[in-house]
Amino acid sequence: MAVIKLRSSSNANRLINYCERKAEERDGVNCDPEYVREQMKWTREEWEKTDGVQAHHVIQSFNPEDNITAREANELGRRLAEQIAPGHEVAVYTHTDREHIHNHLVINSVSFEDGHKYHSDKEQLYNIREKSDELCREKGLDIIREPYAQERFSQAEYKLVERGERLWKDELRTAIDDAKQHTKSLDDMKSYLKDRYNIEMKIQNQNVSFLHPEKEKYVRGKTLGESYTKGAIEHEHGRQREAQLQPVTEVLEPTESYLEEISEHLRKIRSFQEVLETRFDKVSGKTDKVIEQLSESEAERKKLLTDVKHLLIGMDKKAQEQNQRLATLVTKKEQELENALKEVRQLKVDLVNGFMNISQKSKVPLSHTLYKLGTIAGSSVLGGLIIFLVLKVITKS
């Protein structure tokens, strides 16, 4: 049964770069592994969720004793991805650079279907383990009672991978893996590592240790993982010696294998075609919706313009009516004032004629007559004098 680990990453591209570098097999669910970076980025940007966690990382490691090929392991990883991350793009990479085969599943944090984020917690980890166990049982793989680590990564190392920095322990693992394939004993390995990689190797009774050329302290093989212990390396050397004694049968016409490879490529093409069709339908639907919204907005804009135009016309008519009423009122008041002035002028003429008739009949000068009238109208001599002066002015004008 495969061992499952679950982590998350804030930089999807760097995680994909790390997984791609040593992948012997690769596949994708809801994506093409050749364009997975662009597809995942497009989904995150489409739903405006580019910050925080960008991808989740599932490591599915198989027992070294399991009789499983890289292609079979990749197929199990793809089936696992379909079950644990529906609606998400998932890239599946199979590594064979260690004694055990293992898959790296990179899950986009955002669903391309509804924009929901993938939940990575203990409950999800247990769910992934159960799904993986079911698939392994179907394949007839061994059940692992206790967890193992053929390749041991510390949390600090994983952070370095996420930042895209170089791992010195991983360089040791790569060099040791190479040395195991080209040597037949621990002593041969010691010389090989020194000559080819400048790596020191210390062989003890129960353990082996290695010194990176840029470090000052040795690191035990067990710290690097179970594949790098003294017993594991000696076991590998023994397997190589046995393999050299077995005859090699050359396959002249791998017809069945070739057909399987063609079928696998066709399946990937159909899968990618389905992804493109889904994306096209989704984009087409959104485009139609946007066009419909724009049409509604244009209709609302035209209606608003019409309403404003009618309002302005109404306001203009009302202003014209008010102006007309004001002009009529002003004309009327001007006419009334003109009539009043005419009456005042006529009254003045009548008063002057009246005063002159009085003066002629009494044979008294007009000024004396006016003064007398003023005195009679006033209550005192001063009041009479004032009225006299007023009447005098009127008769002169």
Whether residue 124 is predicted with pLDDT greater than 60 in this model: the reply is yes
Q: What's the whole-model pTM score?
A: 0.47
DSSP one-letter code for 48: T
Nearest-10 Cα torsion for 7, 8, 11, 15: 30
**DSSP string spanning 145-197?**
SS---SS---HHHHHHHHTT---HHHHHHHHHHHHHHH-SSHHHHHHHHHHHH
Section 127-145 average pLDDT: 80
Question: Tokens standing for 214?
Answer: 């840029």
Name the pLDDT band for 22 (thresholds 50, 70, 90): confident
How far is 242 from 234, CA to CA, in rounded Å?
12
Q: What is the rounded average pLDDT for all residues in the chain?
A: 79
Ordered DSSP codes for 17-47: HHHHHTEEEEEEESS-TTSHHHHHHHHHHHT
Q: Is the pLDDT of residue 150 over 60?
A: no
User: How buried is 263 (Cβ within 10 angstroms: 0-12 exposed, 13-18 middle, 19+ buried)?
Assistant: exposed
For 231-251, what is each residue's pLDDT tens digit?
888 888 887 777 666 555 555
Q: What is the pLDDT of residue 165?
A: 44
**CB-based contacts of 41, cutoff 8 Å, min separation 6:** 12
